[in-house]
Amino acid sequence: MVAGGRAVVLGGGIAGLCAAQALMRRFDDVVLVERDRFPDGPKWRRGVPHSGHAHNLFQSGLAALERLFPGIEDELVAHGIRRVRMPDDVLLLTPGGWMRRFEGRHVMLTGSRELLDWVVRTRIETGGRARIRDGCEVTGVRVDAGEVTGVEVRERNANGDGWGEPAQLAADLVVDATGRHSRAAEWLRRWGYGVPQETVIDSRTVYATCVFKRPDTHDADWESVLIQATTDAPQAGILIPLEGDRWLVSLALVGADRAPAGVKEFREVAERMRSPIIAEALEKAEPLTPVSAYGVTENRWRRFDALDDFPRRLVLVGDSAGYLNPSYSQGVSVAARTAVALDRALAEAPTLDAAVTALREEAGRIFQPAWKLSVGSDLRWLPAVRLPLRGRILQWYMQRLVEVAAHHRRTALALLDALHMTGADTALFHPAVVLAVLRGARGGDVFPTPKPVRRPGKPGDQPGDQARRTT
């Protein structure tokens, strides 16, 4: 199907940028509206408050980005983003002990969110088929006879201290990628539609992040470290490499009222974790940024996909429809995969309305496995007495599974498949995995195992090799 006409995307984050790229293949005119002024390089901006914290791009998300922007993996690596093999290059301390390191089949990209956004946005800007209107705020969406027909926008004035008069922008399709503060539910109420049911699972986690210069003297066989929290030690930590020979370290505190506020307190929290390995790595590392805190970590699913009556020509993507505890780094992958699904729906559906309906259903299916992983992990922090029987069973199962993954390779691969969203949705419940979970943990390694000697030709061995991945 060739749609033609004009599509308007609301929001210039990863979800909006990926959607715009998909729409450029089908529409004559694509307009991306973003309230912020975009920076002139890979820099932080107000509209992506979480961008300064840890972001990992897992395989399914990387595959989706590569499909939308051919060659982008090598471009990102050329800018300094790192390929990290899992579990080969990662020290992962689970509640059951250190996960054994072996030649895995998973590769993630680690780097700053600012660089990722900038590379993707530059692709859009140089593509020549989309108009970006930054410094432009959406004040309303117009609906006529049950169909979205345009948006109302206003431009920020030249001084940046106010807004101009509202203007109408006609549209044949509107994509809401405004994120967790989306007003879509409010719009539906105003138009007389039903309100989506919301499910919220909140582990009450706060975390803090600081970027360090990687010490010249550092010499170890790992690229990244991940320490998971337990009920006895509710502090988690992650260290990932960034471009520019830097480390980004995030420390999460479950059930805490606040995150560490300064570098001294940040180091003290790192020392209290289950393993001192991150604290020891930072002893000679120079902090390059202040400590920044973040506390919006609940999982929230707005079930727009389950509404029977919904305005035509309106699409919700990214955090507008649902968002996850960012500790699990699933948001970018879900957004990129949804954009690929949008492209596929527009190509295969007989009409634009049919494509929108198909995408709404598919977006829910894409979100569901990431939701199960994030919620299944966070349920362990909620009192079991407050959960229905099914929730209590899932809580017990996920806790045991993570413990067993420390020593059982099949379970570890299933867990990594779920994290990278490369396997079937049922991978965590494969009979062999269920049997291992029922048998229980046999004791993980007390100390990290050495990095395995990797055979030549494995994914990620050379800078130009693209990792094996599944969309």
Tens of pLDDT, residues 212-271: 999 999 999 999 999 999 888 889 999 999 999 999 999 999 888 788 889 999 999 999
Which residue do the tokens 């093999």 mark?
85
Domain at 143, CATH number: 3.50.50.60
Percent residues over pLDDT 90 in the chain: 66
Find, among 182, 166, 165, the residue nearest to 9 by Cα.
182
Cβ atoms of 267 and 252 closer than 8 Å: no
Q: Examine the domain organization and report whether 178 and 316 are in the same domain.
A: yes
Cβ atoms of 230 and 274 closer than 8 Å: yes
**CA gyration radius, the chain:** 22
- Please count the structural domains in the chain: 3
Q: Is residue 67 part of a domain?
A: no
Q: Examine the domain organization and report whether 187 and 153 are in the same domain.
A: yes
Which residue do the tokens 């004035």 mark?
157
Q: Examine the domain organization and report whether 364 and 423 are in the same domain.
A: no
Q: Is residue 444 part of a domain?
A: no
Residue 139, C-beta contacts closer than 8 angstroms, at least 6 positions apart: 152, 153, 154, 166
Q: Examine the domain organization and report whether 32 and 118 are in the same domain.
A: yes
Domain stop point among 242, 277, 294: 294
Q: Is residue 104 part of a domain?
A: no
128 class by beta-carbon count within 10 Å (0-12 exposed, 13-18 middle, 19+ buried): exposed
Supply the pLDDT for residue 464. 42
Q: Tell me how crowded residue 16 is: count the other CB atoms within 10 A of its CB.
A: 27
Instruction: Indicate the helix (H) or strand (E) that contains 14.
Output: helix 14-24
Q: Examine the domain organization and report whether 242 and 272 are in the same domain.
A: yes
Please state the pTM of the whole predicted model: 0.91
Domain stop point among 266, 294, 322: 294
* 454 — pLDDT class (breaks 50, 70, 90): low
| Distance (Å, whole) CA 107 – CA 189 | 43
| Distance (Å, whole) CA 269 – CA 253 | 9
Domain stop point among 347, 373, 399: 373
CB neighbour burial string for 387-397, b if at least 16 within 10 angstroms, e if fewer: eeeebeebbeb
Supply the pLDDT for residue 211. 96
ω into residue 166 within 30 of 0, thus cis? Answer: no
* 455 — pLDDT class (breaks 50, 70, 90): low
Q: Is residue 305 part of a domain?
A: yes
Q: Is residue 310 part of a domain?
A: yes
Supply the pLDDT for residue 71. 97
Q: Examine the domain organization and report whether 215 and 313 are in the same domain.
A: no
pLDDT digit string, tens, across residues 159-195: 777 888 899 999 999 999 999 899 999 999 999 998 8
Q: Is residue 66 part of a domain?
A: no
Cβ atoms of 395 and 384 closer than 8 Å: yes
Supply the pLDDT for residue 447. 72
Q: Examine the domain organization and report whether 38 and 124 are in the same domain.
A: yes
Q: Is residue 98 part of a domain?
A: no
Domain at 261, CATH number: 3.30.70.2450
pLDDT digit string, tens, across residues 288-316: 999 998 888 899 999 998 898 999 999 99
Q: Examine the domain organization and report whether 323 and 400 are in the same domain.
A: no
Q: Tell me how crowded residue 116 is: count the other CB atoms within 10 A of its CB.
A: 23
Q: Is residue 138 part of a domain?
A: yes
Q: Examine the domain organization and report whether 213 and 159 are in the same domain.
A: no
Q: How far is CA 423 from the centre of its chain?
A: 17
Q: Examine the domain organization and report whether 257 and 309 are in the same domain.
A: no
Q: Examine the domain organization and report whether 37 and 127 are in the same domain.
A: yes
Question: What domain range is 138 assigned to?
Answer: 6-55+114-200+298-373
Q: Examine the domain organization and report whether 180 and 254 are in the same domain.
A: no
| Distance (Å, whole) CA 302 – CA 198 | 5
Supply the pLDDT for residue 387. 75
